[in-house]
Amino acid sequence: PFRSLVLTDNVELFEFVQALVVEKGIADVTFGCSRQGPLAARPDIDVVDVRTGCDALIARYRLIVSLHSKQRFPSALVRAVRCVNIHPGHNPDTRGWFPQVFAILRGLKLGMTVHRMDEALDHGDILYREEVPVLFSDTSYTAYRRVIDAEKRYLRHNLHALIHADGESQPMSEEGNMHSKSDFDRLCEIDLDQRGSFRDFYDRLRALSFMGYRNAYVRDPDSGKKVYLSLVVEPE
Ligand code: 0FX
């Protein structure tokens, strides 16, 4: 009777795992997303609210996997059910928001981490971790693609085991770094009078360059309006 729930707000990973579950014949997996996310309107996934639905989730599931879910799990849920987070950063170096942005900017480790969830964000015993390189010519976009590829590879080879076995885990060695959405938002405003090396400027801009998003900006001194910037990086 025990089912597993995969909670996600990432369209690409949802479709990938949905197909994988069929292909590998993995039984008793349900998918859920948050009400505000891009998947909410789809007929093939349920909207699940981990706060209001906490008791029902505890009664129903033996395992809940957070695969880029934007919901913050309540303490009661992580204490009662085995909850595992698949995080697109290398814990504890790059916990939190948009890990590759901070990996590029601060020279931190990037990768993916699969960990038991506890009360703190992107925190808990590590079940699997893989580092991916950050290249001098990476933008946020190219580094992110490398992380997604690693996550898909991991899921392809380990989803069945993740769902059906408890697996060994290791405690986090230290608390590391935690980045928030407001850290990211602050980075996006570029002060035209800030002094630094061209290297700093290069790293800041490529860390904020992601195809399809307008992140970094300066203020037009005349109109006060934002002028968005993004860097095109083309290695030889
Ligand atoms: O689903 P996801 O790839 O991951 C994010 C967090 O980075 C992660 O730490 C958290 N566990 C998860 C629940 O949410 O995020 P996304 O699909 O919103 O964005 C993917 C990438 O797109 C992001 O890494 C950088 C880029 N991006 C996204 C937005 C919304 C931007 O550059 N600017 C933006 O405004």
For residue 221, the surrounding DSSP H or E stretch is none
Q: Mean pLDDT for the chain?
A: 96
d(CA 101, ligand 1 centre) in Å: 10
Domain boundaries, the chain: 3-179, 181-228
Q: How far apart are CA 212 and CA 214, in angstroms?
A: 7
Which residue in 87, 90, 123, 179 is the catalytic one? 87
Edge-first strand listing for the sheet containing 82-87: 46-47, 29-33, 3-8, 61-67, 82-87, 110-116, 126-132
**Confidence band of 31 (pLDDT split at 50, 70, 90):** very high
Could you report the predicted ipTM of this complex, rounded to two decimals? 0.95
160 as an active site residue: the answer is: no
What letter represents residue 109's amino acid?
A: K
Superfamily classification of domain 3-179:
Formyl transferase, N-terminal domain (3.40.50.170)
Which residues 6+ apart lie within 8 Å of 82 measured at CB? Answer: 62, 63, 64, 116, 166
Q: What is the DSSP letter of 190?
A: P
The reply to whether ligand 1 has any atom less than 6 angstroms from the CB of 34 is no
| pLDDT for res 97 | 98
The reply to whether ligand 1 has any atom less than 6 angstroms from the CB of 87 is yes
Q: Is the pLDDT of residue 224 over 70?
A: yes
Phi, psi of 66 (to 5 degrees): -95, 110
Work out the end-to-end distance of the chain between its first and last CA atoms, rounded to an integer number of angstroms.
56
